Chain A
Amino acid sequence: MGTLLKRHRWIAPVALLSPGVLWLLVFYLYPAVQMLQSSFWSGSLETGFTFSFDNYTNYTKALASYAPMYGRSIMYAGAATVLTFLIAYPLAYTIAFRGGRFKNVLLFLVVAPFFTSFLLRTISWTILLSDDSPILRVIHMLPGVSPEFRLLATPIAVISGITYAFLPFMTLPVYVAVEKIDFRLVEAARDLYAGPWRPGGAIVGFVVGGGLATVLGVAFEWDFLITGIVGGIVGAGVGWFFISESFVRVTFPLSVPGVFAGSLLTFIPAIGDYINAELLGNPDTTMIGNVIQNKFLTQNDYPAASALSFMLMAGVLVVVAIYARILGTEELSASAGRI
């Protein structure tokens, strides 16, 4: 056997690869092709389906009826990705640079939510955001909040649910990237008189703080102009004092691959998600995932559902291709593997 393997060097890798690769070809790649084909079907589960290119109307009809849901999915997933970045970056940074001997404990706490059921966590949010919850009671005590204000069954609940669900997907790749940074580079920057980053830090802080506060203001039905300005000033203060040149010119650029990988790993599951929209939202927060799920599993309208899924997949593939171009798939899968 040894001589056979040595004479035909291709046998070993092919034998090792084929079971796994075949499984993925048959049950991952081929179904995608099958889905493209079924998007040109007409008919129903009872009468049977027939294929014809004339059924491209499945696509035009789907787009005509469900364009708003695509838009909403992109918006919600985009908002959630930005929020996870804002929450995860300081978290990952602190764990990597200041975790000390608590580093592993903190990392464990970041992934601990994954040890409970995704559905149960989302249902927990319905309890936490419901009208009678302690959180809502505190919010109702704030000045200027109308007694009718609620969180459950609003877009805020859906976006924050998605943000929560995928926060570790952002935190871990960013952590991995920051952790790899040679701290001596930061020290070298300081030795070369890298000081606070002014006024850039204040400007970035103003934009981020102001943006977040404006959105909050709109959500709470406060005067969003005032909250926006207040948030902007606070953000500018934080940026003025705390964003250093060594961060902007050394640490952050070196962590960009992690941010890229993290935002991809957050955005993709977020755009297809329908659990958060279903459990935390209302009929006006329907995302494209809800439509696809409903058409496939309740209405058995396979042709329309396939067309909708295929368009979503094509969009995702474009995003993935752009990322792979910038980053390379090895880097991306490496960070995916750490989750």
Chain B
Amino acid sequence: MATAKTAAPRGEARGASARPRGGARGVLGRIADRYLLIVYTLLAVIYLLLPVFVIILFSFNNPPGRSNFLWSGFTLKYWLNPFGVSGLPEAVALSLEIAFLSTLISTILGTLVAIALERYRFRGRAPINALIFLPMATPEIIMGASLLTLFVAIGAAPFFPLNFVTILIAHVMFNISYVVVTVRARLAGFPRHLEEAAADLYANEWETFRRVTFPLILPGVVAGALLAFSLSIDDFVITNFSAGKTQTFPMFIYAKAKIGIPVQVNVIGTIIFLVAVGAVFVTTLASRRSNKR
């Protein structure tokens, strides 16, 4: 680790190599200096992506039995029939439904909170900041477990027995903070004079918000929504505590982990990966284009 020595291929900094540096180093040292960190970074990236590669590779596997654990030949048959396992299509549909709904609710609630915290000075900001921050700093198992004790203590519908509603409540709960933080980051660098200009041109508060503020914070809102969606669709721990007998896609994977995971799960996992990568790609392109304008 810790290799700050002469990091310098930054324009004029390159001339720095002429300065005395205490102890001469040969060609070997310079090569190591220039390439060591690059090689290290490539290794780290390979390490990070190795499991992703395995997930994709094993979606083409053709295992003889139920467990998709050993490589035993290439096949496309699971890609042609990705929902051919009982319970899987329902679980994926439920996950998508919860992800959409919880993203919608948490994005609205979170954006409003972000605007209030960034735009207004009032007493009680500190405790509210803490309340927003704490869910991000609490282990998931504790949030899941404490929600479960609440639902059990109420012990009546619609909270108990656990169902779709309780999962949704939990997902909105852990998503709000992430939306708030993402939207606030966008609001913090916000050109206030545009709003003042709108007010000077006789726009009322609502018109100013709709035609000036909202379009400008929209990238932050979209980023927050994407984050919320990806957190929701992948959540296992909290969902496991608030789902009861209802089964989401991660819970389906967990249930099958002990008895052998169907190859189709890898196919769906790969599709989700590709869609997410595509979404990031599209939003990056879109924000680049709007920056150019």
Contacts and interface: CB of A to CB of B under 8 A. Distances in A.
Contacts of A241: 5, 25, 29, 32
Contacts of B36: 242
B62 to A, nearest CB: 15
A86 B116 contact: no
- For this complex, into which size category does the number of interface residues on chain B fall? 35 or more
B99 interface: no
Interface in A260-299: 264, 268-269, 271-275, 279, 289, 292-293, 296-297
**Interface secondary structure of A, over-half rule:** helix
Contact of B4 (A31, A243, A330): A243
A120 B55 contact: yes
Contacts of A251: 4
B147 A106 contact: no
B2 A242 contact: yes
Contact of A38 (B153, B250, B272): B153
Interface in B1-21: 1-7, 9-10, 13, 16, 19-21
B20 A23 contact: no
Given A2-B204, A120-B265, A309-B142, A204 B2 contact: yes
Q: Which residue among B122, B131, B145 has the maximum number of chain A CB atoms within 10 Å of its CB?
A: B145
Interface string B63-77: 000000110000000
Contact of A316 (B138, B147, B169, B270): B138
Interface residues of A, number: 116
Given A2-B205, A124-B55, A195 B20 contact: yes
B52 A316 contact: no
Interface string B113-150: 10111011010000011111111111111110111111
Nearest to A126: B69
A31 B253 CA distance: 28
B5 A117 contact: no
B22 interface: yes
A287 B42 CA distance: 33
A116 B7 contact: no
Nearest to A288: B141
B282 interface: no
A249 to B, nearest CB: 10
12 contacts: A20-B113, A28-B134, A90-B37, A90-B40, A115-B277, A115-B280, A128-B50, A274-B237, A296-B148, A333-B129, A334-B181, A336-B177
A72 interface: no
B148 to A, nearest CB: 6
A77 B38 CA distance: 29
A268 B52 CA distance: 24
B33 interface: yes
Nearest to A183: B10
A32 to B, nearest CB: 5
Contacts of A121: 51-52, 55
